[in-house]
Structure 1
Amino acid sequence: MSSAEPATELSTRLLVDDADLARLRARLAAAAQTQTLLDVAYRTVDSPVGGLLVAATDRGLVRVAFAGEGWDTVLQSLATRISPRVLEAPARLDGVTRQLEDYFTGRRHHFDVALDWQLSAGFRLSVLNHLATDVAYGTTASYAALAGLAGSPRAVRAVGTACATNPIPIVVPCHRVVRSDGGLGSYRGGTEAKAALLALEGA
């Protein structure tokens, strides 16, 4: 650029629109996949309980995060705990996105996606496995009941912690776990989101 070239002309030449960025992201994602440079793919989706970030590895869905969790923080955690090779690659998550859309419109009562459990371990993982298989759509279970299912009837507080740190909420339905007195209890996405999900399911 000559020193006489107006700054505004340079700015105009450097403008990139959303379509250009989307095409660039798609090319990067395809190249990363082809060259096995992508370990965690993610995308964001809209939902009746707010925006969601969904992330997957080659093993399956690894994270669902509510907007209130701070997506930059979530992505940094994924980079630290799984791999720094994290990239927005929406096509990799088309399947789970369709299932979420079907769930929120009442057409789906059970998710059929592979899950990557590497962000959970030990008793927490046992609780989440029981939650995923034993607490059906449209029903609820108390923290105490879930503790019993997991083989430790007195571990009610630990069950609460497992639900509060569930890395795959909605798909692994910790919103179906409520207090013995009928109170909702806490929820990673907030109590309003928990109430909305239970109302959606008619629970």
Structure 2
Amino acid sequence: MDFKGSDTVPGPRTADHLPHTAQAAVKIVIVGGFGVGKTTMVGSVSEIRPLTTEETMTQAGVGVDDNYGSETKTATTVAMDFGRISITDQLVLYLFGTPGQERFWFLWNGLFEGALGAVVLIDTRRLEVSFDVMGRLEERGVPFVVAVNSFPDGPRYPLEELRAALDLAPNIPIVECDARRRASSRDVLMTLMHFLHSLHTTGALT
């Protein structure tokens, strides 16, 4: 795999059909706790109209879902989000966003099936949620990068402090992002592609 800079990714959204030049497709999952921006990232970066399974939040989730930092959120993903982006003329990524609430985590196993890699989105206001998320990926052997989604009221920490707090291995990339911005979300995916390429080169990914 040979990945150039992030500016190789086409800018405008395209028709729903695959480019005729596409030769390979890769499944990527975007995971994280409730309200960290998974649906936003898929929607911002997808070159097709994204598929979402958002439903209006009801009283059934009160006392069950941890919505700290997302108290104004009125809808939530209950199955998955789906989008697509062409990294090059030949390589296409299929993006699957997972539901964030723990009561829907049983769906993750199916979404992880066949995934080459993952993006773990984190919110610095709720770092503790990230441990279970990363643990599930490690159990299944899915390589991942960590993206720190910037929220206006979220505390800011140096990335190396966050690496230590999350107990990340030195080789796992951690980057800042704004999931609302297509270029920023695209760069996170490029970071993941470069990481997967490095694992493949060293024989850690077969």
Give TM class, smaller chain. Answer: under 0.3
The TM-score normalised by the length of structure 2 is 0.24
- The one of the two structures with greater contact order (alpha-carbon pairs below 8 A, sep at least 6) is 2
Larger Rg: 1
Q: Higher strand share goes to which structure?
A: 2
Q: Higher helix share goes to which structure?
A: 1
The TM-score normalised by the length of structure 1 is 0.25
